[in-house]
Amino acid sequence: MAATQAEFSKTAGKPIHCRAAVARKAGEPLVIEEVIVAPPKACEVRIKIVCTSLCHSDVTFWKLKDFPGCFPRILGHEAFGIVESVGENVQDLKEGDSVIPIFLPDCTECIDCTSKKSNSCSQFQFKVSPWMLRDGTSRFTTIDGETLYHFLSVSSFAEYTVVDIANVTKIDPRVPPNRACLFSCGVSTGVGAALKTANVEQGSTVVIFGLGGIGLAVAEGARICGASRIIGVDINTDKFEIGKQFGVTDFVDSNSYGDKPISQVINEMTNGGADYCFECVGMGTLVQEAYACCRKGWGKTIVVGVDKPGALLTFKSLDILHLGKTIMGSLFGGLKPKSDIPLLVKRYLDKELELDKFVTHEVSFQHINTAFDLLVEGKSLRCVIWMDE
C-alpha cells in the first residue's frame, strides 16, 4: 500500500492517462483505448479500479440503440477499487481507502436516507444519466478531446474513474477484491431482496422466477433466512443443478407445461400459493404470474427484475381488495449502501454469506469482450475482470 500511496501523491490533482474499454456502437465489441480521466471536483473521488465484474445491466445498455443507451460510453458498475485522490468537501473518504462504487446514491442526509423505510435518496434521485451526479458533465475524454459518457454514476470499465461520494461505500479490506466487487450490485440486490425487502421467514416457501445471477442471489438470501422450500422457475433446465448450490430445492421448467399457467403449477405444488414470490427477469407477464401464485392473505410478490421502460402491469381491483396480497419493488434489494453493505460484508466474513459460488470466470482486462460473450451465451454467473493482469 505504501508504494500505491506514493504513486497516488504524484497523480493527485492532475489528469490521468489510462486504459478504458469503450462501447462505441450498440452491441459491438468494446474497444480498449487510452483515455484521460480528469481530477475529481467537489464531493467526488477518483478511484483506481482493481477489478470489476460484468452484470446483465451492462449488457442491456450495451445493446440499446436509443436513449438511455448512448455512445461512446464507458460501461461497468460492479467494482472494487482504491481511492486515488479526493476533491474538495470530501470528509469521510481519503487516499488509500478500499471502496466499492454503487449505482444507487446514498447522501446520508435527506429524509429518505435518514429513514429506515427507504433507500431512494431524494437529494440525488436514481436515474440512468450519462453525466456526473451534481454538475451534469463528464470526467472522461479521449486523447483527441472527444467526450465519453458515464454509466450508472460508476463507469468501472476503466483503470481509473471518478465517482460522487454519494455513490461510494467503504469496504473492509479483508474482503478479497474479486469478492468485494460483487457487493456493488447483483449479489446485494438479490440477497437484500430476501433479507430486507421481503424479510423471508424461517420455514417459509419461496418461488424465484429466473435463476440468473440475481435470482440465485435471492435464493442465497432465502437460504440464509431459513426458508424450507425454494422453488426455482426457469427455461434453462441446467439451472437446477446450479441452483442447488444456492439452496434451491425444487425446479420448474416453464417450457414443459404447454398452455398451463406456471402460476397454476406453483399453486398446486404449494397447496394454494407460496409465501414469497420473486420476479427476477424483468417481464410484466412474469410479475403477474408471480402475483397469481403468492398465497392469499399474506403472500408477498417482490419485483426485482428490470423491465423495458413504459411496461405496464394489469391487476383486477377486486383481487387486490379481496386477496390481501402484497406487491412491492426492490431496487438494490432495499439496501442502504453505506449502512447495509457493511452488514452483508460481516455475513461474508462470518462465512454465513457464500460468495465464491457466484464467480464462475475470471479474465484480464484485455479480454473483457470474452466476459460479454460468456454472459450473453448463458455460460457465466459473474465474470471478474482484473485490471492489472
Q: What percent of the chain has pLDDT over 90?
A: 94
Q: Note whether 78 and 53 are within 8 A (CB).
A: yes
Cα separation of 169 and 101, whole Å?
6
Instruction: Please choose, from the candidates 102, 5, 8, the residue with its C-alpha nearest in 3D space to the C-alpha of residue 52.
Output: 102
Q: Would you give the end-to-end CA distance of the chain in angstroms? A: 18
Nearest to 104 by CA among 328, 310, 355, 335: 335
pLDDT (tens digit per residue) in 264-308: 999 999 999 999 999 999 999 999 999 999 999 999 999 999 888
- How do residues 302-340 score in pLDDT, each as one tens digit? 999 988 878 899 999 999 999 999 999 999 999 999 999
Return the SS3 of 351.
coil
For helices 284-292 and 262-269, the axis angle rounded to 10 degrees is 30
Phi and psi at 238, nearest 5°, equal: -65, -20
Contacts of 361 (CB under 8 A, 6+ apart): 371, 374, 379, 380, 382, 383, 384
Query: What is the pLDDT, as a whole number, of residue 389?
Result: 59
Calculate the average pLDDT of the chain: 96
What integer pLDDT is reported at residue 134 of this predicted model? 96
pLDDT attached to residue 178: 98
Q: What local confidence, expressed as pLDDT, does residue 110 receive?
A: 97
Q: 75 by DSSP, 3-state: which?
A: coil
DSSP string, 344-368: HHHHHHTT-S--GGGEEEEEEGGGH
What is the reported pLDDT for 2? 47
Q: What pLDDT score does 308 carry?
A: 82
User: Per residue in 148-172, pLDDT tens?
Assistant: 999 999 999 999 999 999 999 999 9
221 and 63 Cβ atoms separated by less than 8 Å: no
| Local confidence band at 114 (pLDDT 50, 70, 90 cut-offs) | very high
